[in-house]
Structure 1
């Protein structure tokens, strides 16, 4: 079935804090390439500098580009002319109002919001606002609970999905953007809880990967009817007075078809989020759906609680499944016990690396305890996957790699939003590598990382079964990899580092 797609969350302009291309041209090119028929959009100038100037820019851009529909924004901190600005933009044909309390430093559930909500209710104008973070969906609910206006919550992820679903149950006009509802079956859980009629497609493009969010819905296992509602049907109903183009249908190619894939970042175990699927069979089905021939897993139980018991449980679970390989999880707080685990699992042919999660251990990547333990990992000839997330993490990983030069070290998540830093260190440190699984997938990060560090330093990791492999694959698929780059990134680099065949 072909789908009409309307993206409810896009923008354009300039980002002072990073050099991602967020131009109108980039937005339109992605829409054309992927078959997105239309998009709601706003100017970033209106968020960071001046709402009125930003809205003028949005008006001009959408008048010049018939596939784009204008979304206004205001900053209530200004106080002067806020209501009048909303009224003006409504008269000009702006289809919704977008608020940014999380960027501008004010509370959505404050006195600042009340006149805005009353104005939107009077004008029958929908509200789009971030639902990211614990407590945020509830605060939005309190701000709008007496208003009969549609509200789209953006940025809801697995950490606060349960809260957002409860908000939807309490308020019949609250909708969830699906962009980062990214565990393999969490969209199914959300649809079962509140109905497909309450979820809309949005990508946060060009800042974030449009392809990844499209993959998430296309590969969700939902029915075609449910997908159709999410891709465009619900937006068309919410914005029933708006005419959207219908001359383009979703077009997703399969650029990795026929190429083996080794996924170097997977998990076995349970997670405290709205997701039903777990276990070996679930993981194998996900792998098959994405052409993943081998996946290296660590135990979530070993990471978040008892690493000895977690390693043992996972070893038993994956035994006899040649597609599944293991990381022995070790903990710098327990050096002697970790050494025993390394001794035990280094002898097992289906355990091919070690895993350290500094966040759960509460020990920095470059702490003396971590370095001591990684020297022992090096003695056993095992590669190390180490959770590396945020500014400063890649520098610590590079320090660790320089002190253990015979140990291949992979930066799990590639530093996340610090991927530029990670790529520069991967370029400069011979035994340092990166992969990119992460909920917030910045557009262009794979292509740019390869340009900085080289294709020899990049591998494929999905965070299966916490995240959907199709979602993560999207940021790789959009990178325009050559055949040689595809082979290196998808399996050859992992094959060489771990000594395994796809």
Structure 2
């Protein structure tokens, strides 16, 4: 299936394809303590994106992950400078509900910068289904926002059980499982099968042989989103994994751009 794929052959020959753009639904930006990134700033990340044929990156800044009070504003500034290349996710931290209330109050005036919200339950030690987040989920549901949640298997903060709990209560939310409940692939696939508004974000999944094939075999090719954690990992790694997986070209196009295009269209329109 790989050897006779026209799409794979074209990528290997040209390195990128305008007819098959890549949309990265999971990135970050800026410096990070105790690690060196060669290209962490927006201008540098655009170089990485252009080299790999990535048309758009959906991201939350590193600063916002642990200081939403200032980091969400950084994200907005970047998106407003490059609106055709970046889209922002507003980070929500349940430990600082005053900041959450502030950002929710001004979200509608910032729709040009933000297409949705970002939860890091295990990092913030506030579970996805914690009652503190009820008003935030309701807020996102009312606006049919994208909510990207850091998920991981075998945990009690952001595992399959917590995802299922919020997916059942808020079907209007477009819920993206970042890392696809890492390691619990069957459970992640079942969630995407059970809920048409739940997506498997493939960030970090690429390193696990057979995971992409399993997802496609389970019939969720139209519910898989390409993601890299840029600048942590190169888009080329993820693209190579998709091209090398034993899946169809139709699956590859779904993962690389079709699913994201369908998901983003109404969200981007709301910010214009």
Q: TM-score, normalised by structure 1?
A: 0.47
Q: Tell which has more relative contact order, 1 or 2 (C-alpha 8 A, sep 6+).
A: 2
Q: Write the mapping of 1:344-493 to structure 2, written as runs, cut at 5 A.
A: 344-347=106-109, 348-392=111-155, 393-438=159-204, 441-493=207-259
Deviations 1:397-419 (A, max 9, x none): 12211111100100001122222
Residue 497 (structure 1) shift = 1.9
**1:256–1:486 contact (8 Å) kept in structure 2:** no
Task: Report what 1:293 is aligned to.
Answer: 55
1:326 to 88, 96, 102: 88
**1:445–1:475 contact (8 Å) kept in structure 2:** no
**1:265–1:461 contact (8 Å) kept in structure 2:** yes
Task: Report what 2:101 is aligned to.
Answer: 339
Determine which structure has more spread, i.e. the larger CA radius of gyration: 1
Residue 364 (structure 1) shift = 1.5
Structure-2 change in CA distance of 1:334 and 1:324 (3 Å): same
Residue 253 (structure 1) shift = 6.2
CA–CA distance in 1 between the matches of 2:205 and 2:245?
17
Residue 313 (structure 1) shift = 1.5
Deviations 1:421-474 (A, max 9, x none): 211111112211111111871112112112214211111111111221112223
CA–CA distance in 2 between the matches of 1:439 and 1:454?
15
1:266 to 27, 34, 41: 27
1:497 to 244, 263, 267: 263
Residue 301 (structure 1) shift = 0.8
CA–CA distance in 1 between the matches of 2:223 and 2:16?
19
Unaligned runs of 5+ in 2: 4-11
Structure-2 change in CA distance of 1:366 and 1:326 (3 Å): same
CA–CA distance in 1 between the matches of 2:14 and 2:251?
16
**Could you say what secondary structure the match of 1:385 adopts?**
strand
**Could you say what secondary structure the match of 2:50 adopts?**
helix
**1:260–1:293 contact (8 Å) kept in structure 2:** yes
Deviations 1:262-318 (A, max 9, x none): 111011221221333211011101111111101111011111x21020011221133
CA–CA distance in 1 between the matches of 2:240 and 2:253?
16
> In the alignment, does 2:83 pair up with 1:317?
no
Task: Report what 1:118 is aligned to.
Answer: none
CA–CA distance in 1 between the matches of 2:240 and 2:182?
15
Q: Write the mapping of 1:101-112 to structure 2, written as runs, cut at 5 A.
A: none
Deviations 1:21-73 (A, max 9, x none): xxxxxxxxx9xx7xxxxxxxxxxxxxxxxxxxxxxxxxxxxxxxxxxxxxxxx
Structure with greater helix share of residues: 2
**1:346–1:380 contact (8 Å) kept in structure 2:** no
Unaligned runs of 5+ in 1: 1-29, 34-251
Structure-2 change in CA distance of 1:438 and 1:275 (3 Å): same
CA–CA distance in 2 between the matches of 1:255 and 1:440?
19
Q: TM-score, normalised by structure 2?
A: 0.84
Alpha-carbon RMSD: 2.5
